Amino acid sequence: MGFQMKAIILGAAMAAVACTTIIALVLSLANHQTLDQPYSTQYGIVFDAGSTHTALFLYQWLGNKENNTGIVSQKQSCDVDGDGISSYVENPPAAGESLKKCLDIAKAVIPEGQRKTTPVYLGATAGMRLLKLQNQSLADSILVEVTKTIQSYQFDFRGSRILSGMEEGAYGWITINYLLESFIKHTFEGLWIHPKAGKILGALDLGGASTQISFTPKDPVKFPDSAFNLQLYGYKYELYTYSYLCYGKDQALKKLQAYLHKTAVPTSIISHPCYHKGNNVSVTLAELYNSPCVVKPDNFNPSAIVTFSGTGNSSLCLSLMENIVNLTDCALSPDCGFNGAYQPPVNGEFFAFSAYFYTFDFLGLAPKAPLTRVLSTIETHCNKNWTTLTAENPAIKAKYLREYCASAHYIMTILLKGYKFNNTWDQISFEKQVADTDVGWTLGYMLNLTNMIPSERSRAVTGVAHSQWAAQIFFIVFALFLCLLIIGILFVRDPKH
Ligand SMILES: Nc1ncnc2c1ncn2[C@@H]1O[C@H](COP(=O)(O)OP(=O)(O)O)[C@@H](O)[C@H]1O
Ligand SMILES: [Ca+2]
């Protein structure tokens, strides 16, 4: 065959391949647009009004008017300045004001035409639960003020409310399993399948004022009070979920201070084995007893000051934890968590987030470490004196730094002795994010309230299917391969050229 002829064949083959590729791409795009309405990025906002601080989470997904079931990811988060909204008892309007910075940031990210259709939710957790117990009208007026502020923006405001502990636990569990695709998984071939039941993870959330545990137990939940029934994508789940109010990290450590204060000989300086040597923490008795989680002494002078003086005694610190966590009462033995609460045996893998993660991350123990290393790391950390510790960690806020020792021992007490992970320690991972999205209750809350997790299987998830891209990439690679093959055949058969 002459060289000119070969060049013509080669040219024609390449042109044919190029044309087919372009036609295939155009057809697939056209198909996408005619079968479904055009996809556009949609947004949703959830405020997590926690006991210690408020954060805004901005989520995004691809959706169209008919079907809002795209895969949701976190676009941005924003920390509200100042403390949690429950701290604004003296000035509720300032709680509303505090949200403006983050609302402005979210507004700048969301295109103007889409703001009106962006749902916004505010969920408050244990800090507001406690305030409501103390003074319902104050809690209501704070919710009124945050509502007013959010309503002054042109979003689709869907309400500010206090979540129950069970909701908080269940939505955290939904978030984790949604992000890990444990409910429904998108395969390479473009199918949505139901993964094996064993891959459902449990959720452990340690807040400042409450702590939650949620998982699917092996056997049916015995008490309806702690059962949460869900149907997601046509499959039923029975979740055990329990929230311990007053057993978040900060309230637990406050209980410990109150215990030490009440059991000490009357003096203004009290030894604290969980604080580092050289670290002194002073509080007024009004502050120490300002929470419904601690029982006030009969007579006390609110303006008196007590100073907790750190002794950095790791083993004593650990043993003190059993004075604030009741590990002995259990009417339903052995099915108990702590404080006599019903809990079936833990089952499967767990993700531990929020203050569990912050504490273990600081100690270099996240996402996982063997139990022996965890115990020795905590001991070494607790025994460090305050001067060394602050010099080693100049960027860490003192209020966090002084409490990692106490938090770590509290965490080990509730995990090992409360929830009884003593034989299944390696099932727990300490995590902050999955797929660049923060783990917490907010995503699960939004998915539920916007009906983005259908209960029936037929309304399966849409979004830009992996399979479509996979097919296109496959086709292009195949076309290139064909082209090379033709070149190869032509030249191998006539090596002169
Ligand atoms: N960087 C950090 N290091 C240590 N602890 C942290 C850090 N950031 C947040 N926390 C703790 O995480 C917890 C978050 O609780 P929060 O969500 O505010 O309360 P709740 O969920 O009980 O309403 C608090 O105890 C807070 O002190
Ligand atoms: Ca929280």
ipTM over 0.90? The verdict is: yes
Q: For residue 159, how far is its CA from the centre of ligand 1 (angstroms)?
A: 24
Is any atom of ligand 1 closer than 6 Å to the C-beta of 124?
no
Q: Give pLDDT, residue 184.
A: 84
What is the per-residue pLDDT for 9? 62
168 catalytic? Reply is yes
Catalytic position from the list 168, 349, 403, 431: 168
Q: Out of 46, 47, 53, give the residue to mutate to test ligand 1, the one with the largest number of ligand atoms within 8 Å of its CB.
A: 53
Q: Is the CB of 393 under 6 A from ligand 1?
A: no
Q: Is 210 labeled as ligand-binding?
A: yes
Q: What are the pLDDT tens digits along the chain (497 aa)?
A: 555 666 666 566 666 566 555 655 554 554 444 444 678 999 999 999 999 999 999 999 998 755 555 689 999 999 999 999 999 999 999 999 999 999 999 999 999 999 999 999 999 999 999 999 999 999 999 999 999 999 999 999 999 999 999 999 999 999 999 999 999 887 777 777 888 666 899 999 999 999 999 999 999 999 999 999 999 999 999 999 999 999 999 999 999 999 999 999 888 899 999 999 999 999 999 999 999 999 999 989 999 999 999 999 999 999 999 999 999 999 999 999 999 999 999 999 999 999 999 999 999 999 999 999 999 999 999 999 999 999 999 999 999 999 999 999 999 999 999 999 999 999 999 999 999 999 999 999 999 999 999 988 764 444 344 445 555 666 666 666 765 776 666 666 655 54
> In this predicted structure, what is the pLDDT of residue 363?
98
Q: Which ligand number lies closest to the CA of residue 207?
A: 1
Has 212 been labeled as part of a binding site?
yes
Cα(109) to centroid(ligand 1), Å? 27
Rounded CA-CA distance 181/120 in Å is: 25
Q: Is 212 in the pocket of ligand 1 (CB under 6 A)?
A: no
Distance CA(323)–CA(468), nearest Å, equals: 59
Ligand located closest to 250 CA: 1
Atom of ligand 1 nearest to the CA of 362: 3
* Cα 212 to averaged position of ligand 2 atoms, centre (Å): 9
Pocket test for ligand 1, best of 205, 214, 249, 356 (most atoms within 8 A of CB): 249
Enumerate residues 6+ apart whose C-beta is below 8 A from 469: none
Alpha carbon nearest to ligand 1 atom 7, residue: 358
**Ligand 1: distance of its center to the CA of 43 in Å?**
26
Q: Please state whether the peptide bond connecting residue 454 to the residue before it is cis, i.e. omega within 30 degrees of 0.
A: no
Q: What is the pLDDT of residue 34?
A: 40
- Residue 467 Cα to ligand 2 midpoint, Å, equals 37
pLDDT at res. 195: 80
Give the model's pLDDT for residue 267.
Answer: 82
Answer yes or no: is 208 a known binding residue. Answer: yes
Reported pTM: 0.86
Nearest ligand 1 atom to the CA of 125 is: 23
pLDDT value of residue 69:
59
pLDDT of res. 11: 65
